[in-house]
A and B are shown apart, each in its own frame.
Chain A
């Protein structure tokens, strides 16, 4: 079962996702699948630290996997709950941060035979999203509940360079494909979950935990 949670920057999507998966989890262990690449800069460190604080005491088992998402399966017990946080980082890592991807881009011709790790076939326009979707599908078959957090980055009306455009289009493709197979799709707006797919009604009061404390 897949649940997709979307939201913009500072929307409270992570807080909602964490609380929601804990509530919906009938599978025992709840894994937090962190895709952010631990960086050296202060901002990344602070960001990771903020998320650690947020989920402290919630009982998650953290698993880090910045690429090849299916490779985490050996560290996750079958039929458990997994919170993938988040898809936009995973995509960025796959597109811009992996060494073999760079080699692939530079020497596309050399990879024609088996592609990148045997998955990429040249001639396909956006092989990265296919790789990610394959990984997600394997992960979903392995666990009982997979909650995927993703971003809404599509509404700023800015004309970006080709690389950024490819990233935006790829993330939109992933969101659409996952939403199509998901049991539930939520969008978090100002900490309020708005349902787009599934049976549930908005449950504001229960989920606005992002707002604890003062502004």
Chain B
């Protein structure tokens, strides 16, 4: 598994397309596929987590399941580097996204952080 993390609009998608040869058609945008085969590329994971939380679902469960697959590339925005939000939902969203990313990073063979289009492998 590969995790790509970085702020919004830092060039994460472009980077995985170039580095890992990902095609547009392969990308699930903020969606966790049900019965995927082959490589699974999930973009904007934070948007999936937000929607799932809004719907009262359990994003951790679905993400845990998908990370059992061998060939997974996950892209997610870094959303924790700001002032603690006033709104309780926003606070919980940041915390849960952070915890989910820690778990994904622990399971991943590769974690890369993209800043201004430049990737730095941190694992």
Contacts and interface: CB of A to CB of B under 8 A. Distances in A.
Interface of A: 7-12, 43, 152-156, 158, 160, 164, 167-168, 189-192, 194, 202, 204, 208, 210-211, 214-215
Given A190-B3, A192-B111, A214-B103, A10 B97 contact: yes
Contact of A156 (B63, B81, B101): B81
A160 B84 CA distance: 12
A215 B99 contact: yes
Interface secondary structure of A, over-half rule: loop
Contacts of B78: 8, 155, 189
Bin chain B's interface residue count.
Answer: 35 or more
Contacts of B98: 8-12, 190
B105 A10 contact: no
12 contacts: A8-B98, A9-B81, A10-B95, A152-B80, A189-B78, A189-B122, A190-B3, A192-B111, A194-B122, A210-B99, A214-B64, A215-B60
A155 B91 CA distance: 16
B102 interface: yes
A208 B106 contact: yes
A171 B7 CA distance: 21
Contacts of A158: 82-83
Contact of B103 (A9, A192, A194, A211): A211
B102 A164 contact: no
Nearest to B80: A8
- Give the 5 A-B residue pairs with the shortest CB-CB distance, closest first: A10-B98, A156-B82, A8-B80, A211-B106, A191-B102
A153 B82 contact: yes
B81 A152 contact: yes
B88 interface: yes
Contact of B7 (A10, A155, A204): A155
A215 B64 contact: yes
Nearest to B83: A153
B122 A192 contact: yes
B97 to A, nearest CB: 6
Interface in B1-32: 3, 5, 7
B94 interface: yes
Contacts of A167: 83
A154 B81 contact: yes
B53 interface: no
